[in-house]
Structure formats: C-alpha cells, structure tokens
Amino acid sequence: MSIVYAFVAAGLVGCGLYMVLSRHIVRMVLGLSLLTTAVNLVLFQAGRIRTAQPPLIVDGAERLGESADPVPQALVLTAIVIGFALTVILAALALRAWRGHGTLRSDELHSARDLGNPLASGPDVDH
C-alpha cells in the first residue's frame, strides 16, 4: 500500500514540476497546487498507513500499537489550508495581471523587469 502512495506522490510531483516550468501563469498556479497536494501525500505517509483503530495507547503500554500516528494527519490539515490560501492569492494575482497587462504569459509580463532596468535607454522619470 505504501509503495502505491509513494508512486502516486512521485507522479504528482513530476506533473506539478512540469507544469510549474510552463510560461503560462495559470498552468504554473495549477502546477503549484498539484505540488502541494503531492506534499500532503508525503506528509500523510510519514505517519504510516495502518489499521483504522483509534490512536489510543492501551493502559500500561508504552507504544501506540497498530494504529497510524495522528500527528501527520493534523499537519496535513494545516498544510491543506495553507496551500489553499496561497493558491487563492496566486490566482488573485494572476487575475490582476490579466486585467492590467492583458496577458498571462510570464515572458510577456515584464513591467517589474523594466522598472529601473539598467539596459533600458535613458533615465525613467516615472518612479
């Protein structure tokens, strides 16, 4: 079971990285959200995949027995929320870029690069 999870996570990371390298911002955003999903799978697996027993230590025992470690599951919940929030912010920025620049290709977005560019001719007056 673990090996299946590992391969799924690896596949997601591969797809995510491929999409992040795209010049299209929306594809990049989707790639980043795929990556965060893949990371969540890795975190989930750090707690091991065990039986569905509740994670309670039996009286007198020192170890957690057969159930999965609950801490990574709490971490995954936090990571999902954070990843979602950042994806939303990035999507909002992409929307503003579309409205302001009329393009979503990162090689056609160059207003930050042009600001104070030493290779541009002459001093820029609008700072």
Q: Record the tokens describing residue 105, joined without a space.
A: 């290709």
To another protein, the closest distance from the beta carbon of 55 in angstroms equals 9
Q: Taking CB under 8 A as the rule, does residue 49 contact another protein?
A: no
Letters for 101-120 (x = contact with another protein by CB under 8 A, - = none) are x----x--xxxxxxxxxx--
Nearest to 68, CA basis, from 41, 44, 39, 48: 48
Amino acid at 10: A
- Residues 19, 28 contacting (CB under 8 angstroms): yes
- For residues 32 and 11, what is the distance between their CA atoms, to the nearest angstrom? 14
* Binding region for another protein (CB under 8 A): 20, 25, 28, 32, 35-36, 39, 42-43, 45-48, 57, 62-64, 69, 71-72, 75, 78-79, 82, 85-86, 89-90, 93-94, 96-97, 100-101, 106, 109-118, 122-125, 127
